[in-house]
Structure 1
């Protein structure tokens, strides 16, 4: 496995490749020793374009490690369009599961942003959780970047 750390508006992130597929996106910088491969360079470029508002979909080979159920959930997440959201309950109904199980799979998503678990909201539009260093603030940032309308009660208060 090889990796590449990069700067983003959310801080340092590290993307990892294994056998020609992306397998993880982690928050923070990786230890030295990573190697830039053509795939990791392409992933960095696409992430930069996403953060610059120039990309809405990722075109990268993915192979996240997880259970069969988690992979079904992650596949469903990739079908949520840019700038749109779904609820844990809607996904649970679609996949014949429970909202809690959907939330668990979202929390174990090894490729956040690329597999857009930030587009999944709780009942009544509640943000729920998020795996990034800043948690819900990071989720709010990503949804704002995509132009998602959040209920006024969920928008960040400025004082």
Structure 2
């Protein structure tokens, strides 16, 4: 297992992976230096919209959380879905989706920042809601740029 960190604004993003399987992504204030897969540095700099060929370890299996994480992982870059839409896709309840998002071990790969409440409010994001706002703003700006090409 390899672990490293990269920057996103004032935050550090710790990534733990083995080959193409990512086991943990965590936003923290301080972290030891160390290389991460290039897909993370490109994505967080707004230079890429994909993590391929990396995949989240959380999408494996047939548990309700794995179904939720797969549904969230399918949300296209720059788009959002509601907790209810994810619940319908994963055959569960929106509150279960919220619980799964709060425990998401691989944020970014399972882009929980793209899941919003039905009324358009952001919901939550650990450790700081501002990270979710910044990620959505970055994706909206890049998507707008792509649309002009």
TM-score by structure 2 length?
A: 0.81
Structure 2: state its 5+ residue gaps.
Answer: 142-149
The superposition leaves residues 28-59 of structure 1 with CA deviations (integer Å, 9 ceiling, x where unpaired) of 24458x6x5xxx4xx2x212211222211211
Structure 1: state its 5+ residue gaps.
Answer: 149-159
Closer/same/farther in 2, CA of residues 65 and 2 from structure 1, 3 Å limit: farther
Q: Check if 1:54 corresponds to 2:47.
A: yes
Q: Check if 1:85 corresponds to 2:103.
A: no
- TM-superposed deviation, 1:97: 1.0
The superposition leaves residues 84-107 of structure 1 with CA deviations (integer Å, 9 ceiling, x where unpaired) of 000001111222211100111111
Closer/same/farther in 2, CA of residues 56 and 65 from structure 1, 3 Å limit: closer
Match of 1:143 in 2: 136
* Structure number, greater radius of gyration: 1
Partners of 1:62 and 1:98 in 2: how far apart?
22
Q: Which runs of 4+ in 1 moved over 3 A?
A: 29-32
Partners of 1:78 and 1:49 in 2: how far apart?
18
**SS of match in other structure, 2:140:** coil
Match of 2:107 in 1: 112
- TM-superposed deviation, 1:20: 5.5
Match of 1:7 in 2: 7
Partners of 1:25 and 1:10 in 2: how far apart?
16
Root-mean-square deviation (CA), in Å? 2.3
TM-score by structure 1 length?
A: 0.76
Closer/same/farther in 2, CA of residues 11 and 114 from structure 1, 3 Å limit: same
Aligned residue pairs: how many? Answer: 138
